[in-house]
Amino acid sequence: MTLTASLKTRIASLSSTASAEKDALLPPPQHIAIIMDGNGRWAKARNLPRLAGHRAGTENLRRVLRACKNHGVKIVTLYAFSTENWRRPAEEVEGLMKLLETYIDRELEALHREGVQIRHLGRLERIPPALQRKIQHAIEYTRNNTELILNVALNYGGRAEIVDAARRMLAEGLRPEDVTEATFSRYLYTTGLPDPDLIIRTSGEYRVSNFLIWQGAYAEYYITEVLWPDFDEKELAKAIEHYRRRERRFGGLKA
Ligand code: IPE
Ligand code: IPE
Ligand code: MG
């Protein structure tokens, strides 16, 4: 083989390895779920009240949702308030609920125009009635949109969700043999939706905090030190890039 010919062969084999590596990338996640944590620390670092952190956190939603859409994501699930967050001081809880109301008032029309379908995951009970009404209106108003499904987990707990599913199955008289994993999935708040591919947690905490404990069984986790109000489109791109390099085996072996 001449030198040029052998070089050509070498280059061809190198570029085929490169394209094989590229082929091995996972497709972008279809469903991303986010534990939006670190608002309090963000505020503390600036000597601001915790609520200022929550306000900055809600203001961050617009750019992250837009970025998700640009990445071709079809479902976004946001952890906004857990069943455990009621343990916080009343002032913070009330402030948070008020912020969520303002968020719906301000953003609903824009979300609707962008084709976002809003859903609620969690128990409506205990949410202040004014906010409940706004949530129900937002769900109704956006129900036929198909660009992006936005699940808002509010007064959400993974354990409460499983308990609620079991109660409904019993109330509807399901027989033991009817209760399969598929039936369970249908009775969860996320009924009809695929499980999250990627769960992001901001602000560096390595725990699940009762979020999507059923649906996340085989999700890929990405944890970043970045605090939620600072988590921008670049950070999202980083998370997706990490995800795409993962190998999902679901208990099997490498393909
Ligand atoms: C997340 O931010 C928002 C909610 C839980 C409502 P935090 O309020 O938990 O912020 P940190 O963890 O105290 O920094
Ligand atoms: C999880 O964050 C809940 C939300 C982001 C809404 P927390 O800040 O409540 O979680 P823990 O208490 O640190 O586990
Ligand atoms: Mg927190």
Task: Write the DSSP symbol of residue 86.
Answer: G
Q: Report the C-alpha dihedral over residues 50, 32, 239, 15, rounded to 10 degrees.
A: -170
**Average pLDDT of the segment spanning 30-43:** 98
| pLDDT given at position 254 | 82
Superfamily of domain 28-156+189-244: Decaprenyl diphosphate synthase-like (3.40.1180.10)
Token pair recorded at residue 186: 């249908």
Q: Does residue 12 have a pLDDT over 70?
A: no
Quick: pLDDT tens for 98-121. 999 999 999 999 999 999 999 999
- Rounded Cα–Cα distance for residues 128 and 114 (Å): 28
- Of 12-16, 122-126, 224-228, which gets the smallest average pLDDT? 12-16
Q: Does residue 9 have a pLDDT over 70?
A: no
Distance from the alpha carbon of residue 55 to the mean position of ligand 2, in angstroms: 16
Task: Note the ligand closest to the C-alpha atom of 81.
Answer: 2
Q: Is 187 in the pocket of ligand 1 (CB under 6 A)?
A: no
Q: Where are the alpha helices (DSSP H) in the chain?
A: 3-23, 39-44, 50-59, 61-70, 90-113, 129-141, 158-171, 181-187, 233-244
Confidence of residue 37 (pLDDT cuts 50, 70, 90): very high
3-class secondary-structure state, position 35: strand
Residues composing the chain: 255
Question: Is the pTM value of this prediction over 0.75?
Answer: yes
**Among 245, 221, 198, which residue's Cα sits nearest to residue 22?**
245
3-class secondary-structure state, position 229: helix
- Ligand 1: residue whose CA is nearest its atom 3: 37
| pLDDT given at position 5 | 58
Phi-psi sector, 246: left (phi>0), alpha (psi -120 to 50), beta: beta
- Rounded Cα–Cα distance for residues 185 and 194 (Å): 9
Quick: pLDDT tens for 191-218. 999 999 999 999 999 999 999 999 999 9
Task: Write the DSSP symbol of residue 173.
Answer: T
- Rounded Cα–Cα distance for residues 198 and 216 (Å): 9
| pLDDT given at position 57 | 98
Phi-psi sector, 83: left (phi>0), alpha (psi -120 to 50), beta: alpha
CB proximity list for 216: less than 8 A, separation 6 or greater: 33, 195, 196, 199, 208
- Rounded Cα–Cα distance for residues 214 and 152 (Å): 17
| pLDDT given at position 168 | 98
Q: Give, for ligand 2, the residue of 34, 37, 151, 211 to mutate: max count of ligand atoms closer than 8 Å to Cβ.
A: 37
Token pair recorded at residue 108: 């609903």
Distance from the alpha carbon of residue 85 to the mean position of ligand 1, in angstroms: 9
Confidence of residue 65 (pLDDT cuts 50, 70, 90): very high
- Rounded Cα–Cα distance for residues 43 and 40 (Å): 5
Task: Note the ligand closest to the C-alpha atom of 39.
Answer: 1
Confidence of residue 22 (pLDDT cuts 50, 70, 90): low
Proportion of the chain above pLDDT 70, given as a percent: 91
Residues facing 31 on adjacent strands: 75
Q: Any catalytic annotation for residue 85? A: yes
Q: Is 207 in the pocket of ligand 2 (CB under 6 A)?
A: yes
